[in-house]
Amino acid sequence: MTDYEILRLSEENKYLTGGFTCVETDSMLTEYTSKERRRIRRHSKDMDNFLHSEAFD
Amino acid sequence: MSRTYLFVDEDGKLLAYLSLCNDAIRLEFEERDNMSLPYATIPAMKVARLAVDITKRGMGTGYYALQFAVYVAQAVRDYSGVVFLTLDCYGHRVSYYERFVFRRNLYQPVLLDYDSPVSMRLWIDEYLAGQSQ
């Protein structure tokens, strides 16, 4: 079990978000059709964008 | 609009993030009747965003983040009514949330696309009762 620290996103810890991505690789989506893969990746990119540009607003 | 929480491991790596906001959901009559809730619209807390880094999936981080959301909802309940934890998710994630005892809402927003998100809810009292058994 990994030990976690939970931090409220703030100016002081915003640097932690830099390397984060939840966009799946091809090998993680082999069970889905190409159309489904596109939709899943589009949503995951939106999740990344939110963290990097909107969450702090 | 929301508050975002970072889940960071002991090496300072961001494993996941969770964003929470306030919400209210509409229940169909049969749902209200089953839960003895007298109102059509019920206050809730919404998991607006939950994402786990692709290098850290399968380690239980998402489950841990949802437990934290329940914890926050419990804390808010000391000051303001919250009955459900809610979220919207795409079809490929429904089974994941169902394992956490989220259920599909009978009332779904008007869907314009075939792949519109599914509205789900977790009844906090039911979840906590299950945890204590």
**What are the structural domains of chain B?**
3-132 (3.40.630.30)
Assigned domain for A19 exists: no
- Report the C-alpha gap between A36 and B30 in whole angstroms: 34
Assigned domain for A44 exists: yes
User: CB-CB: which of B10, B14, B53 is closest to A3?
Assistant: B10
Which residues form the domain of A44? Answer: 31-57
Task: Name, in order, each residue with C-beta under 8 angstroms of B96's C-beta and a sequence gap of 6 or more.
Answer: B62, B89
Within 8 A of B64 by CB-CB distance, chain A residues are 4
A8–B3: do the CB atoms touch at under 8 Å? yes
Assigned domain for A20 exists: no
Supply the pLDDT for residue B92.
85
Spell out the alpha helix ranges (H) of B56-103.
Answer: 61-76, 94-99
A2–B9: do the CB atoms touch at under 8 Å? yes
Higher pLDDT, A54 or B7: B7
Q: Are strands B84-89 and B41-52 parallel, antiparallel or unpaired?
A: parallel
Within 8 A of B52 by CB-CB distance, chain A residues are 22
pLDDT for A56 beyond 80: no
Look over chain B and give the mean of its residue pLDDT values, rounded to a whole number: 90
Within 8 A of A5 by CB-CB distance, chain B residues are 7-10
Within 8 A of B19 by CB-CB distance, chain A residues are 50, 55
Assigned domain for A16 exists: no
Which positions in chain B have a beta carbon within 8 angstroms of at least one beta carbon in chain A? 1-10, 12-15, 17, 19, 49, 51-54, 57, 59-61, 64, 68, 90, 92, 115
The 8-class DSSP code of residue B125 comes to H
Assigned domain for A45 exists: yes
* Extended beta strands in chain B, E state: 3-9, 14-26, 41-52, 84-89, 103-104, 118-123
Assigned domain for A25 exists: no
Task: Name, in order, each residue with C-beta under 8 angstroms of A32's C-beta and a sequence gap of 6 or more.
Answer: A40, B92
Assigned domain for A6 exists: no
Q: In this structure, which long-range contacts are made by residues B20-25, counting pairs with CB atoms below 8 Å and at least 24 apart in sequence?
A: B20/B45, B20/B46, B20/B47, B20/B48, B20/B69, B20/B72, B21/B45, B21/B46, B21/B48, B22/B46, B23/B84, B23/B86, B25/B84, B25/B86, B25/B105, B25/B107, B25/B119, B25/B121
The structure tokens 């969770």 sit at B18
CA B83 to chain A, closest CA, distance in angstroms equals 23
Assigned domain for A54 exists: yes
Q: What is the pLDDT of residues A5-54, one digit of tens each?
A: 999 999 999 999 999 999 998 888 888 888 889 988 999 999 999 999 88
Q: Which residues pair with B118 in a beta bridge?
A: B89
The structure tokens 């303001």 sit at B80
Q: Which of A1, A3, A9 to mutate to test the interface with B (most CBs of B within 10 A)?
A: A9
Averaged pLDDT, B37-54: 93
Q: What is the pLDDT of residues B101-124, one digit of tens each?
A: 999 998 887 665 666 789 999 999
B64–A23: do the CB atoms touch at under 8 Å? no
Task: Name, in order, each residue with C-beta under 8 angstroms of B89's C-beta and a sequence gap of 6 or more.
Answer: B96, B97, B117, B118, B120
Task: Please count the structural domains in chain A.
Answer: 1
pLDDT for B96 beyond 90: yes
- Global confidence as pTM: 0.90
